[in-house]
Amino acid sequence: MATGTAMSRKDVFTPAKHLAFKDMPNVHTMKELGFSETAGVSPIAVSEPFRLFTEEAVMRMRQEVLSPEVFENCQYSSNLAQCYLRGFANKYAPFVYDVWKNPETLAIVSKIAGIDIVPEMDLEIAHINISVKSEEEKKEELEAAAERANYEADEGIAGCPWEDDKPIVGWHTDSYPFVCVTMLSDCIDMIGGETALRTGNGDIMKVRGPQMGCAVVLQGRYIEHQALRTLGTTERITMVTSFRPRDPLQKDDTVLTTVRPISNINDLYNQFAEYRLQILEERIRLQLREIRDLSAAGRRVTTKKLKSFIGEQENFLAHMNREMVDDDDVIVGNIQQDHITPESSSKPRKRRKLV
């Protein structure tokens, strides 16, 4: 359980009380989106929104997330967004921390993702994106949207290209294999808020934004995507928890590109190094066991196989070393999304929307 203010018994995360998951949502595969079946770590690309938490759970999470101590100690901003809350769960939010460490929560997310996954590291439990507007701004946006809709209907141009939608963040891929994005705001009057995905064929697919207490699972490391802007709300608070495969033999393509500038760099590098070295330790343990078992049976592992194993681990460590950029070279708040493919161009694309 996370450290921090002690919780009363009634505040403890209880799956039977706080999880609202019932039915598997529709999911869309990597193959369906035009990607190779081996492109990622799972055949599942994205889910449609599904109910994950009860209202009581959402209110409890909001209470912890929006606490003064979290804002005072864990708030970040960047060239892409004004307000992130990061790295707070294991220090200031015991309920939130326990939510994402609980085996029942992980079983749900893993089932939808199509692979057994665990939180990337404690630092990436419940990254929070916050967008706030005044009531006047909300009113003006709704009036403008209504006026535009009427004009398009009169002119017969309703359903104009997706390029007209302004994104919150431009086209990008995530640093981590999977994310589970949970909505913590009331979305009754919300217009927009979809996630646009670029398929392997260059088409654009839109996934509906989740309602409060609902979530979407996305293999975001391997699929370019962007979050489109929302209208009609005074706040939009999303909770993003990142995941990686539990199996140490699965590939780990984690990069730190999008998180280095908005993290406590010591915490980030230590947790990154810890889990990567744990993976390496387990891989070496398994390889050593094979060598010993075969030796006991009077056989040997082939030189080719051993050299292949060693080469893979050399690449694993080299990748890890490249991601741990020297502290002095990290520009705080400046996210350089240089791992995005250059095809996020302005030429028209086909689009379709999930229903």
pTM over 0.85: yes
In a domain, 321, yes or no: yes
Kindly state the tokens that stand for 308: 């292949």
State mean pLDDT over 327-355: 62
The pLDDT confidence band at residue 236, using thresholds 50, 70 and 90, is confident
Q: Are residues 76 and 218 in the same domain?
A: yes
Contact 2, 91 (CB under 8 A): yes
Query: Taking all residues of the chain, what is their mean pLDDT, rounded to a whole number?
Result: 87
In a domain, 187, yes or no: yes
Pick from 96-100, 234-238, 331-335 the range whose average pLDDT is largest. Answer: 96-100
End-to-end CA separation in angstroms for the chain: 38
In a domain, 158, yes or no: yes
Spatial distance between the Cα atoms of 117 and 34, rounded to a whole number of angstroms: 24
Q: Are residues 20 and 132 in the same domain?
A: yes
Quick one: pLDDT at residue 131?
83
In a domain, 4, yes or no: no
Q: Are residues 121 and 70 in the same domain?
A: yes
In a domain, 214, yes or no: yes
Kindly state the tokens that stand for 27: 């999911």
Q: Are residues 34 and 180 in the same domain?
A: yes
Quick one: pLDDT at residue 182?
97
The domain that holds 50 is classified in CATH as 2.60.120.620
The neighbouring-strand residues paired with 172 are 225
**In the chain, helix, strand, coil percent, each to 5?**
40, 20, 45
Q: Are residues 232 and 102 in the same domain?
A: yes
Q: Is 122 helix (H, G, I), strand (E, B) or coil?
A: helix
Quick one: pLDDT at residue 344?
39
How big is the chain, counted in residues?
Answer: 355
State mean pLDDT over 238-257: 97
Q: Are residues 339 and 324 in the same domain?
A: no
What are 81-101's pLDDT values in tens digits?
889 999 999 999 999 999 999
Q: Are residues 157 and 225 in the same domain?
A: yes
Of 281, 255, 283, 24, whose CA–CA distance to 124 is shortest? Answer: 255
Domain that holds residue 317: 271-329
| Number of compact structural domains in the chain | 2
In a domain, 263, yes or no: no
Q: Are residues 209 and 302 in the same domain?
A: no
Q: Are residues 314 and 254 in the same domain?
A: no
Q: Does the structure show a pLDDT above 70 at 164? A: no
What are 177-227's pLDDT values in tens digits?
999 999 999 988 777 788 899 999 999 999 988 899 999 999 999 999 988
Q: Does the structure show a pLDDT above 60 at 355? A: no
In a domain, 266, yes or no: no
What are 117-152's pLDDT values in tens digits?
999 999 999 999 998 865 665 556 555 655 655 544
Q: Are residues 54 and 107 in the same domain?
A: yes
What are 4-42's pLDDT values in tens digits?
555 555 689 999 999 999 999 999 999 999 999 889 999
Spatial distance between the Cα atoms of 233 and 137, rounded to a whole number of angstroms: 9
Q: Is 311 exposed, middle or buried (0-12, 13-18, 19+ CB in 10 A)?
A: exposed
Q: Are residues 110 and 70 in the same domain?
A: yes
Q: Are residues 126 and 155 in the same domain?
A: yes
Q: Which percentage of the chain shows pLDDT scores above 70? A: 81
Quick one: pLDDT at residue 210?
87
Quick one: pLDDT at residue 265?
97
The neighbouring-strand residues paired with 85 are 75, 128
